[in-house]
Structure 1
Amino acid sequence: MQQLDLTLGLVMVVSSLGTAFLALLLMSYLQPARRIAWTPIDEMGERVVFLFRDRALVDATPDARALLQTGPDFLSDWPRLLAVLDQRFSGFAGEIGQLAERQYFLLRNDVGETMEAEWRGGLARIVVTEAEGAEAQTPAVDHFAQTALSEELATLRSVLDGAPILVWKEDAEGAVRWANGAYVALAERLMAEDSAIGWPLPRIFEQRPVGPDMATPPRRLSVRDPATESERLWFETYDEAQGEDTLVFALPADKLVRAEDSLREFVQTLTKTFAHLPTGLAVFDSDRRLALFNPALTDLSALEPHFLSDRPTLFEFLDRLRQKQRAPEPKDFKSWRREIVELESAAASGTYQETWSLPDGQTFRVTGRPHPGGAIAFLFEDISSEVSLTRRFRAELELGRAVLDNIDEAIAVFTGSGRLVYSNSAYARLWNHDPDATLGDTGIVEATQLWQKACAPTPTWGDLRDFVSAPIERTEWTAQVRRKDGVLLNCRFVPLVGHATLAAFLPVAETREAHDAPPKVWTRMPAALR
């Protein structure tokens, strides 16, 4: 009985093995040929076939290698294949990542080309097939034409890779599908040291919107400078829509940004400086709009800051000054417009400078100066105190002159160089000489010669000439001289500040005896002149 059971068990085991073997044979018969074996690469002829293992190219047909060479040369074989086929078969990069799970997939593009991808034992086999009838429809390519096209492609690629600007193309979702050498070099600098460029290419400017930039070009973008970690690299970008894709050009703008920062700091420094100036400043650009003003201008002009911030024109600015009575009131509107035109023309040539007397008694000195780029600047100075002081000083001078003109003593004042600078009315009557009516300057030599002709011989005039030009410290001295008409004159010579000299002459009323006596030549002689 036991032997029967053993025999029955063996029969069942053999039967099971036979059934399994028959099932495998049947499955092999029903399974398509592509699942059974791959044709060797060297027997594929002109077909485009790639064989990859773990992202490394194991083998490829000559046409496949030629197709791979059209991809970016800075990429390794696997990401280069993704770059090439993703442009011809939409979604290829995403589908190929799931090949190990799906084992097989097929893609077809709009022109009828197909791409088959199959996974077997850790190997990925990718076959690209042209559309049916494409070979018959495509004319034969001349070898020399093909060479010329290849050389032209190499030249264009070399030019773009050598360009000092970033150029790249994005699809509708913002993925970078192509880039030149400068873009890739910057992307590599921004990546970690242990990372490598893959596909799709990294997006450098994350702040850039997806799709064509509708802002007025250029848009300024920046990325962190990996060399310094603290500074940023600046670029100005220009977009060009190409169907659903966007071609972007980025020009380096670091120098421009630094220049703008320097200019901004300079303007801020000037603004702070102008803010403490008592002189009002108004700068009008080439379009004659207010471009710059300081706080002193608002104080002097009584114009509202918001009005000045709205950048009024030169005419609006001056017209508002007239309304606020901070400019001279014109006779009529026509003359006012003419004055503005003349003012602008004079300021542009650098010749405008006027004094404005305002109705409230204030006085402004207004100066116009040209600036680079056709701009003009106006300076407003409040010289009311200066004008008031000048008027008081002039009034005091006129008062002093009036006093001196009403005394009997004839007075003449000489500078240290001997030039006659002042004389009163009594001097003109005594010597019959009015310096104001004489052409040219009157010096001490000419004056003493005039006096000597009118007087009896005396050494006084020679001594006076020495006294006027003496470099030593001087003291007052007196003398008497007699005119040829018999009038006796008391003379007084006084040193003044600034090495000036006062000469005073007073006729003496004398008795008969005194008239016959000789005149006193020296009443008190300076010790230095004895």
Structure 2
Amino acid sequence: MSDVLRAIRRRFLSCTRLVQGGFAILAGTVPAHAADNVVLDTTTMILSGLQRPEMPALALFVAVTCFSVVATIALLRTRLSAAATEAKLHADNQALQSETDRLRALLFAEPQVLIAWSAGDERPDITGDTALLMPQGQTAPAQRILAFGTWLHPEQALAMDHAVDGLRERGESFLLTMATSNGRAIEAMGRAVGGQAIVRIRELSGVRLELAETTQRHRDLLEETDALRAFAAAIPLPLWALRTDGTLRYANAAYAQAAEAENPADAIARSVELLDSEDRTAMRDALADGKAYRARLPVAIGGERRTFDVFAFNIGDGSVGMAVDASETVAFKDALTHMASAHRRMLDQLSSGVAVFDADRRLAFYNDSYRRLWDLDSAFLDSSPDDSSVLEKLRAMRKIPEQPDFRAWKAKLHEAYRAVEPAKDTWYLPDGRAISIVTTPNPEGGVTYLFDDVTEGLKLQRQHDGLLRVQRETLDNLAEAVAVFGGNGRARLFNPPFARMWKLSPEALEQQPHIETIEQWCRPLFEEAATWQAMRAAITGIDNREPLQLRLERKDGSVLDCTTMPLPDGATMLTFQDVTDTVNVERALRERNDALEAADQMKVDFVHHVSYELRSPLTTIIGFAHFLSDPATGPMTVKQSEYLGYITTSTNALLAIINNILDLATINAGAMTLDLGPVDLRKTVEEATAGLQDRLVHDNIRLAVEIDPSVTGFVADERRMVQIFYNLLANAIGFSPPNGTIRFSAWRENGAVCCAVSDAGPGIPPEMRDRMFDWFESRANGSRHRGAGLGLSLVRSFVELHGGTVRVDSAVDQGTTVTCEFPADQTFHRSAAE
């Protein structure tokens, strides 16, 4: 019994300690882990009591009671601790949110755009001032920023695409400085941070802009310096630079080779000299006086003595020099001197009068024929008179043509001293002679005069030419085709209508072919053997030379009246007169009138039908599409927005086709009017290109614009010019291969403004060139964009409306160039009816 009491006493004391621990937990003086230990001890005690049968029920009850008290107290403490933890977490969250707002305000204190891609997420998170990048007055969804071609130039947009791809795929950081299409300088920085690809775009201004511009200028200067160094190293002329003390500081490979050094470094190390000591002294003296040095000096290179033109200049803290090999020039000059001497000896033997005046316009040489032709005194000529003195003396002797303004006539004659090509003239002297004069500029300066008396020759030539001219003019101006055959049957004369009528080559007819040969050439148009036999007999026959009349109906549908006429000298004249027009004129006029009336009626009906039956409902569709796309109408799903975009794009394309058809019909009807005014070609090209940027970026096509500065003051209809350039560029984009280049160039030529668009596409086959400007003629072969076939038709109509022309130069697999020529002097308002 005493053992039981002792056990009860121990259990009671344990329960007491547990109760005290529970109150300590409730008071908060015991840590959470100690409270857990108290509950664990209570649970252990109860379980051990249940396992011992000698434990009295009272002790067990007390233990259970204590456990309940302790557990209740622990539960209350846990709930109090959870509430305190929740309050602390809420306060921490508020602090973090405040810190986030503060950091975001600091981040967007300056205008910028942040684009972040999470891993595996194709749609980025875009925040910031997107209006910073879009063109002036244009708004677009934030995702539109990713279409870099809409706010960047094509080359920079391509570089941005490549940089973003490298960042997302390989984590490659980048830093780009670019200019937007609205002229803003921006900086794009890409980094991989915390598993995200982040692109930061901000506008450059102030110090950052100056730093970017300075960096670009530094890069340009480095490139220019490298190019100059490469040029200096590669130029085949010796170049060198000296310090102020005269030592060699730089030499290129040509200098090292000329100075017989192993290489430029060896030449600099040993300070190898190219010139002799006396020449170097002269050069140093000239440079010391602040003058440039220039001299032609002999230089020994590889045991051979050559002549160089040496140039030296002071620069900065030293001097630079260059040597140009003039050996061939000196040799040519010597050879020219010898040749001139031989030439003068030969001229002295000519029967023609020759006078050579030097660069100072003084007589340097004359032959005896010259003295006798003008009857001049030898003493006067030997005194080397100047050209003007000789002319004054000849004028006093009345040996030159009478001139109302002798001074002006002499000045025009002396233009030969500044000319580069010989000039010919004929002087008709007061004594009735005709003198042929040839003025030839001399290579060393001066002029050589060559005089010939052509009086008799001109007289005979005038008589002969008069007869031939009368005969030729008579034949050439006949409406009939005429050919004259000699007694041997060969063609002696013919006029252009004969060659054109039978589609013969004038060059071949000038070889005087036989009538049988001409018959073979003409048989493709007319094969009737009996008729040809009759013509041959009339031309080559000796007996029965009577006129013959025949009618020929050729394969091309033409009708000819043929007549053979014997001539007194044994020749025969063959004439052909085209009477096809006389037979068919009434029918042709009637058919033409019917066709014109039908075409006019068809044109009127077509324009009326398009205007009211197509354009009106299409305009309604476009209006409702824009209404549905307005956010005020209500939200739409992504797929609905996509389908609505397809509808808008298709209706706009259809409306453009209808407008093109209406424009063509209006032009053909003579109702189109041009609104002429000054045109800025570069601005016009940019407006035409604006609607093609997506296609340029999509196909990675580069547009190169080259406008000559002389193309100013151009007058045209700016709106129609935009349409012309848009259609030409769209056609070129359609046929250009990906990654290709389209070139737009403009220049002035022969009083016209020429604009050309070139592509490197598959070219145009010859059989397509005649039809490429027809309505609805669409050449899909080689194009990625099939159109209605109205673009080039509209281009030609608008160009011709401006009074210009369109030319196409193309070859298969070599690209196509379309050139539009506009008159440069359009200063008035003009309509298609004019």
For CA contacts below 8 A with separation 6 or more, give which structure has more relative contact order: 1
With normalisation by structure 2, the TM-score equals 0.22
TM-score, scaled to structure 1: 0.32
Structure with greater helix percent: 2
